[in-house]
Structure 1
Amino acid sequence: MRTTLSLLVAGVVLLAALPALLSAGLLIASIQMLIAALFASAYGMLSGRAGMLSFGHAAYFGLGAFATVHAMNAFGGSGLLPTPLMPLVGAVAGLAVGIAAGWFATQRSGTTFAMITLAIAELLHALAPQLKGLFGGESGLSTMRAPAWGLAFGSTIQVYYLTLAWVLAALGLLYFHSRTPAGRLTLALRENAHRLRFLGYDVHGLGVSAFAISAMFSGLAGGLQALSNEAANYAVFDAGVSATVVLNSYIGGVGSFLGPALGAALMTFFGYAVSDATQSWLLYQGVLFVLVMMFAPAGLSGLFGAGARLVERTGWRRAAGVAALVAGAALLLAAGGVFAVEMLQRLCSHDYRALAQAAAGWPAIPLLGRPWSPAAASTWLLPAALLACGGVLAVAARRRFGSAA
């Protein structure tokens, strides 16, 4: 407990110090990471604790964003709703729509529930461009942050600290909810809803409350997004937004409280860092999701937990040996896979085919600072060797972990 508290304090201190350590571009990326972490935590509360898999959580994120934009334009960032309190409008919008949508969606469970949530989000995505008064059509709505409380909110640093304050407060409230009787009953709803109904609890009411609370914090995240971007577009209702929060949550691990936040922060940073370097970054994200689901169903947070248990059982020395094997295997497999994917992506591109047709041959492909000939066997032997070595280390790491555990 004391170690966990120390790590949390260290994490908060690090987050507070980021503006002094990062450039303006990376600080903007950090704001998006915080918003994504809150959105994933709100989703994880529904999917991880209540056991309800939603495929349309972008609906409440987007409604929170649009409600905040309307409030910013209506109140001008002053009066009863100054700029720092604007995300509350997004939370209220998410809560109101979440109660209504949750009442219908939670009438069913499983696949039917997931399809209902997806249908709600897709309905909003289809209607938003037509309802120009509410959503601004295809161009969306724009606004401006107004000064309040002696702050101009014109700098990225001030927006970052405002976002950090809201995210930490929201995560604290979500954690508090998980410790209340209602939060415990939400966990029981996931484990055995039939037994809960037999004991006399209102299962449907519990489902609606969990859905509404999750939608409320998703709307809060959408409000922070609108406050940061000073705009909202109907693209926030896109199915890709709902899919991203599902992937981020499960990569981080919906079984732990901070797992979804961890996954969202890492994958958002991954997108910013890799999207400019390669066109295949979505493929890498999908491959990572598949690998996590196959070999670490508990997510990245589950891996950290397994590592901590291994240290307790075997000590730091043997655990460090297993970690070194795992890291080596991951690096070799990643290097071989990335090299093969990048070569194939360039080889199959329209530009390269046109160049090959004009040259009547197979021109060398520049990669990693040097040219590689697609016709040379050594070009393809390199990724094959990396993958083979990585596979050997992975097998050795698995055996070592099994014997140590």
Structure 2
Amino acid sequence: MMQSKSSAAAVGGVLVLLLSAPLVLSPGLLNAAVQVLVAALFASAYNLLCGQAGMLSFGHAAYFGIGAFATMHAMKAVGGAGLLPTPLLPLAGAAAGLVIGAAAGWFATKRSGTYFAMITLAIAELLHALAPHLKGWFGGEAGVSGMRMPAWGFSFGSTMQMYYLTLSWVLAGLALLYFFTRTPVGRLALGLRENAHRLAFLGYDVHRVSVLVFTVSAMFSGIAGGLLAVNNEAVNYVLFDAHVSASAVLNAYIGGVKVFFGPVLGAGVMTFFGYAVSDLTQSWLLYQGILFVLVMMFMPDGLAGLLVRWWEWQSRLGLRSVLPVSLAGLAAALLLGGGTVFLVELLQRLFSQDYRAAAGVGQAIVLFGLRWLPREAVTWLAPTAALAAGLAIGVMALRQARLLTEANTDAPSSTEVPLQGARSTV
């Protein structure tokens, strides 16, 4: 009961923040927030297929892009007046994603595992290769553009109105996705992930269930693509590119595929990370890759899984007990991250052609507002010390967390002798 109340309070707090975002964010950041919402819905739709049903797709950009183009054509229809009112245009993306997803899913789900992943990748790459040549549908190199029309008393000319329109669709989409996971078909999707052979043995049509889940995932991906088209008023065949599919995979796994809101968290973190860091460094994709590798190696449940485990831990042991260890772990993460960024940026500048062409290896490198000489020992001792300190504090924090957990674990009394058939005292 307490956990459900805490979850409801957390969701309510996030909703308040989302609704009040236009009051505190600049137009540029508000536009970035729209991109975050679109990425969150796309990652959640992808996670229905990957996290819920256990089918790893490498080509989900196909349905995202199809939804975007269908929405754009609906926007341009009827002489530019639009086939649907502007707030309902993403329905065109949903319809296109549903139809194409059903067709592609019927073929792709004939196989499983690696073969399924390769088929989905091939479908997306096929669309990416055909799109430049089908100019009537995809507009060639220039893509397709249109203009949002006023509807329902709104002009949809401001970023704030587009933010609230996108937020409405994303919240409705997430609610429907969550409802789907609670339905019998959603529960069968878990069976697909855990043991498809046993599901077939029980008499269920595994292929039909797989196609249905694939289709629903593609439909919501089409809605996300439609929201992107409405916001940008232009689409290009680059939406079928492999990096769009990869972004859905990264967002879902970094956020956590086993927690429903994990992909939402991953999309928010990684999208804002891209906006904030891409203008500061050329190595931001490397940092993204490092984060993905670290999550896969040490946090397989993702950031959301880490937060859930921490919340359960502090609920069991008390915040006062776990706070010092948590702060030590946070300090270790900051030191390790800072040392890694220092080394990456230092090496990137040191080996760049501009640096070597300017004055040779002896020239000072400006980093973090300070000048660092590559031939001085302090330049290399600073990141090394940060990494060493972070590693030492991290090991200490993990050890203390383990001791704290063991000390507060209820153990059976030494006077109790477990008997066969007796209730366990643990």
CA contact (8 A) 1:333 1:391 kept: yes
In structure 2, the residue matched to 1:381 is 381
Between the aligned partners of 2:313 and 2:299, the Cα distance in structure 1 is 15
CA contact (8 A) 1:77 1:147 kept: no
In structure 1, the residue matched to 2:290 is 287
Say whether residues 1:99 and 2:105 are aligned partners: no
CA contact (8 A) 1:55 1:243 kept: yes
CA contact (8 A) 1:63 1:90 kept: yes
Kindly provide the CA deviation profile for residues 188-242 of structure 1, in whole angstroms up to 9, marking residues without a partner as x: 1111111110111010000000000000000000000000100000100000010
Against the structure 1 CA distance between its residues 35 and 128, is the aligned structure 2 distance closer, same or farther, given a 3 Å change threshold?
A: same
Point out the structure with max Rg over C-alpha: 2
Between the aligned partners of 2:396 and 2:149, the Cα distance in structure 1 is 59
In structure 2, the residue matched to 1:238 is 241
In structure 2, the residue matched to 1:129 is 132
1:199 maps to which of 192, 199, 202 = 202
Q: Once the 2 structures are TM-superposed, how far is the Cα of residue 312 of structure 1 from its aligned partner?
A: 2.5
Q: Percent same amino acid at aligned positions?
A: 64
In structure 2, the residue matched to 1:326 is 329
List runs of 5+ in structure 1 lacking aligned partners.
none
Counterpart of 2:77 in 1: which secondary structure?
A: helix
Between the aligned partners of 1:212 and 1:378, the Cα distance in structure 2 is 57
CA contact (8 A) 1:139 1:233 kept: yes
Say whether residues 1:312 and 2:320 are aligned partners: no
CA contact (8 A) 2:255 2:302 kept: yes
Say whether residues 1:2 and 2:24 are aligned partners: no
Counterpart of 1:149 in 2: which secondary structure?
A: coil
CA contact (8 A) 1:259 1:301 kept: yes
In structure 2, the residue matched to 1:176 is 179
Counterpart of 1:53 in 2: which secondary structure?
A: coil
Aligned length: 402
In structure 1, the residue matched to 2:280 is 277
Against the structure 1 CA distance between its residues 393 and 75, is the aligned structure 2 distance closer, same or farther, given a 3 Å change threshold?
A: farther
Between the aligned partners of 1:398 and 1:276, the Cα distance in structure 2 is 35
Q: Structure 1 length normalisation: TM-score?
A: 0.98
CA contact (8 A) 2:106 2:211 kept: yes
In structure 2, the residue matched to 1:402 is 402
User: What RMSD in Å do the two structures reach over aligned CA positions?
Assistant: 1.0
In structure 2, the residue matched to 1:159 is 162
Counterpart of 1:366 in 2: which secondary structure?
A: strand
Kindly provide the CA deviation profile for residues 163-187 of structure 1, in whole angstroms up to 9, marking residues without a partner as x: 0000000000001101111111111
Between the aligned partners of 2:82 and 2:248, the Cα distance in structure 1 is 34
CA contact (8 A) 1:310 1:404 kept: no
Against the structure 1 CA distance between its residues 286 and 343, is the aligned structure 2 distance closer, same or farther, given a 3 Å change threshold?
A: same
Between the aligned partners of 2:210 and 2:245, the Cα distance in structure 1 is 20
Between the aligned partners of 1:78 and 1:257, the Cα distance in structure 2 is 38
In structure 2, the residue matched to 1:86 is 89
Against the structure 1 CA distance between its residues 85 and 77, is the aligned structure 2 distance closer, same or farther, given a 3 Å change threshold?
A: farther
The correspondence of residues 352-367 of structure 1 with structure 2, limited to 5 A, is 352-357=355-360, 362-367=362-367
Q: Once the 2 structures are TM-superposed, how far is the Cα of residue 75 of structure 1 from its aligned partner?
A: 3.8
CA contact (8 A) 1:58 1:121 kept: yes
Q: Structure 2 length normalisation: TM-score?
A: 0.93
Deviating beyond 3 angstroms after TM superposition, the runs of 4 or more aligned structure 1 residues are 75-80
In structure 2, the residue matched to 1:217 is 220
CA contact (8 A) 1:250 1:263 kept: yes
- Name the stretch that deviates more: 238-247 or 317-326: 317-326
Kindly provide the CA deviation profile for residues 322-362 of structure 1, in whole angstroms up to 9, marking residues without a partner as x: 211110000100111101100101111110010134xxx51
